[in-house]
Amino acid sequence: MIPLKDENPTTKAPVITIVLIAACVAIFVLVQPRDQGVEDAEFSFKNAAIPCEVVKGRPLSSEEVRDTVERGDQTACTSDPSSRATFPGKAVFLAVLYSMFLHGSWLHLGGNMLFLWVFGNNIEDKKGTVVYLVFYLLAGLAATAAHILVQPDSTVPVVGASGAIAGVMGAYLVLYPNVRIRSLIFLGFLVLFRDIAAKWLLGIWVVSQFFINPNEGVAWVAHVGGFVFGVAVGLFWRATGSPERELVFSDRPRY
């Protein structure tokens, strides 16, 4: 299922959501290499977050990079590398932040930005620009932390805003569970447009993450980690905020 729009109007322009989308698109188009080859791989190893680097607090050695790229060893992390770092000046902890603005393909970028637009504008509208931006970045950090916790020896670069956006989706689920989401549904060769309550669409999405094949290169644990963080923050907001009438379209059938 692909969400297209929600029936949840906002009261002001989603400035931060637009800025985040613009930043991701600009970096993908103007900064990241386009060849998807050696240059692209070099860019990722130089700029993106890598679990081994964060755990060890140092950039990958030439040996670790070579084993990862040439031998396909995705856990080539060593405690005492015998060679010097390939990119000795890399800030391995700042790379966690950089990774939130990098993407692997047009499809990866487009899907993430669509989800961010559908769900992010309402969270920004409710919590304000500053709180929303801090929440978004913390959700991305929580998602990366979850991925590193499960794969601490991974030497594969992690790119994408998916974890942060999953956090936004988790908060949306708590705050607007019954809002209708116009969705595109694929059933074999059949394509349908349906309005689905957010709780069902997002529930199906998070369950589907557990069926993703790790060999597909999708950091699904980061998605789940970000989503759980978003749910937790959403519950806190709901418990400490003033009572607010939820937008519910009771005159329409629920799916």
Output the tens digit of pLDDT for each of the chain's 255 residues: 899 999 999 999 999 999 999 999 999 999 998 776 778 889 999 999 999 999 999 999 999 999 999 998 999 999 888 889 999 999 999 999 999 999 989 999 999 999 999 999 999 999 999 999 999 999 999 999 999 999 999 999 999 999 999 999 999 999 999 999 999 888 878 888 889 999 999 999 988 888 776 656 667 899 999 999 999 999 999 998 755 544 444 333 332
The CA distance from 209 to 142, in Å, is 17
Task: Give pLDDT, residue 254.
Answer: 32
Task: Give pLDDT, residue 218.
Answer: 67
Q: Supply 143's token pair.
A: 């998602």
CA nearest neighbour of 23 among 103, 93, 130 = 103
* Assigned domain for 245 exists: no
* Assigned domain for 253 exists: no
* Assigned domain for 85 exists: yes
Tell me the CA distances in angstroms from 118 to 30, 111, 130, one per residue in order. 25, 11, 19
Q: Which string of b and e fits 141-155 if b means at least 16 CB within 10 Å?
A: bbbbbbbbebbeebb
Task: Give pLDDT, residue 60.
Answer: 95
* Assigned domain for 251 exists: no
CA nearest neighbour of 33 among 91, 103, 108 = 103
* Assigned domain for 38 exists: yes
The CA distance from 31 to 11, in Å, is 34
* Assigned domain for 51 exists: yes
Let me know: does 170 contact 229? Beta carbons within 8 Å.
Answer: yes
Q: What is the CATH number of the domain that holds 54?
A: 1.20.1540.10
89-92, long-range: CB < 8 A, 24+ apart:
89/59, 90/46, 90/47, 90/53, 90/59, 92/49, 92/50, 92/53, 92/54, 92/57, 92/58, 92/59
Task: Give pLDDT, residue 232.
Answer: 97
The CA distance from 115 to 123, in Å, is 13
Task: Give pLDDT, residue 251.
Answer: 39
Let me know: does 36 contact 124? Beta carbons within 8 Å.
Answer: no
Number of domains in the chain: 1
C-alpha gyration radius of the chain? 19
Residues facing 5 on adjacent strands: 182
Task: Give pLDDT, residue 172.
Answer: 97
* Assigned domain for 199 exists: yes
Q: Domain containing 84: what range?
A: 2-240
* Assigned domain for 224 exists: yes
